[in-house]
């Protein structure tokens, strides 16, 4: 796991966008896994800028979103479908046919989840998966206690997540109790993973998933089992890590790391 500590949210966002842009430049028909929430907003803004000002081409890119509230129609203002179109897709040259987001108003959720997994396989799997992290250590909506082998399915949201996400709704009671989410097992099959986090409210979750044991109580800790994970944090989110000096040394000596490890 490569841990990159940046000064602030802006630097975190630009670094994350650069990693995504490099991936698209290397493989124009990249399959991206995308996330919602406050954390990736700056990353999406920078990707929009790269698309408009520097010609970053999304025309062959395919995307799969991690999750969606169950019970919200795709047009609902708090649906993740609406979020993605407002904050990224409508501003870039992506082909709408290549955009996949779980449907919150689907009739047969179980069948939908099975097809979603199949579709990911059909396009050859996810090349780069972008993740945020919940203050309870979740990735996507894989709440504490989720199986680390789990697949796309319906999940009951944790009380902490409902509290955290209430800020987007007029009252806490309006936050849906269920969601469709990719499983931890689904996420671990992505070829590369990029997790971003900012602010001190994420510091405990980050210390636990990076330096603590692998446990279903902090589902992000399952990323320790993956071979290619990059974590980009701001100083607040990194503030409870014990090995900051080590991570910074690696970042500041990239030329040596490249020379000896070839990456
Ligand atoms: P946030 O959510 O980016 O809004 O903090 C992250 C998450 O819950 O995964």
Per-residue pLDDT of the chain (263 residues; tens, 9 = 90+): 999 999 999 999 999 999 999 999 999 999 999 999 999 999 999 999 999 999 999 999 999 999 999 999 999 999 999 999 999 999 999 999 999 999 999 999 999 999 999 999 999 999 999 999 999 999 999 999 999 999 999 999 999 999 999 999 999 999 999 999 999 999 999 999 999 999 999 999 999 999 999 999 999 999 999 999 999 999 999 999 999 999 999 999 989 988 888 76
87 lines ligand 1 (CB under 6 A): no
C-alpha to C-alpha distance for 16 and 111, rounded to whole angstroms: 33
| Test site for ligand 1: of 78, 87, 133, 139, most ligand atoms within 8 A of the Cβ | 133
| Test site for ligand 1: of 12, 16, 36, 144, most ligand atoms within 8 A of the Cβ | 36
Distance 39 CA to ligand 1 centre (A): 6
39 lines ligand 1 (CB under 6 A): yes
Q: What is the pLDDT of residue 92?
A: 98
C-alpha to C-alpha distance for 129 and 6, rounded to whole angstroms: 20
Residue with the nearest Cα to atom 2 of ligand 1?
37
135 lines ligand 1 (CB under 6 A): no
Catalytic residues: 67, 136, 138, 143
């Amino acid at each position: 796991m490569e841990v990159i500590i940046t000064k602030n949210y802006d630097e975190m966002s630009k670094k994350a966008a650069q990693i995504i842009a490099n991936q698209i430049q290397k493989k124009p028909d990249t399959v991206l896994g995308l996330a919602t929430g406050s954390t990736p907003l700056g990353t999406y803004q920078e990707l929009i800028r790269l698309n408009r000002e520097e010609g970053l081409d999304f025309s062959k890119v395919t995307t799969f979103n991690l999750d969606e509230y169950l019970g919200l129609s795709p047009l609902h203002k708090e649906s993740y479908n609406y979020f993605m179109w407002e904050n990224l897709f409508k501003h870039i040259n992506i082909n709408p046919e290549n955009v996949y987001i779980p449907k919150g108003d689907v009739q047969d959720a179980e069948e939908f989840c099975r097809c979603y997994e199949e579709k990911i396989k059909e396009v050859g799997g996810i090349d780069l998966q972008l993740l945020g992290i919940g203050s309870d250590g979740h990735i996507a909506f894989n709440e504490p206690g989720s199986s680390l082998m789990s697949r796309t399915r319906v999940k009951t949201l944790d009380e902490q997540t409902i509290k955290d996400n209430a800020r987007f709704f007029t009252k806490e009671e309006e936050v849906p109790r269920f969601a469709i989410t990719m499983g931890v097992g689904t996420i671990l099959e992505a070829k590369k993973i990029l997790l971003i986090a900012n602010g001190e409210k994420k510091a405990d979750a980050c210390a636990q998933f990076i330096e603590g044991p692998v446990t279903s109580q902090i589902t992000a800790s399952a990323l320790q089992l993956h071979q290619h994970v990059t974590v980009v944090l701001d100083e607040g989110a990194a503030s409870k890590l014990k090995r900051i000096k080590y991570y910074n040394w690696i970042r500041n000596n990239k030329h040596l790391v490249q020379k000896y490890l070839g990456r």
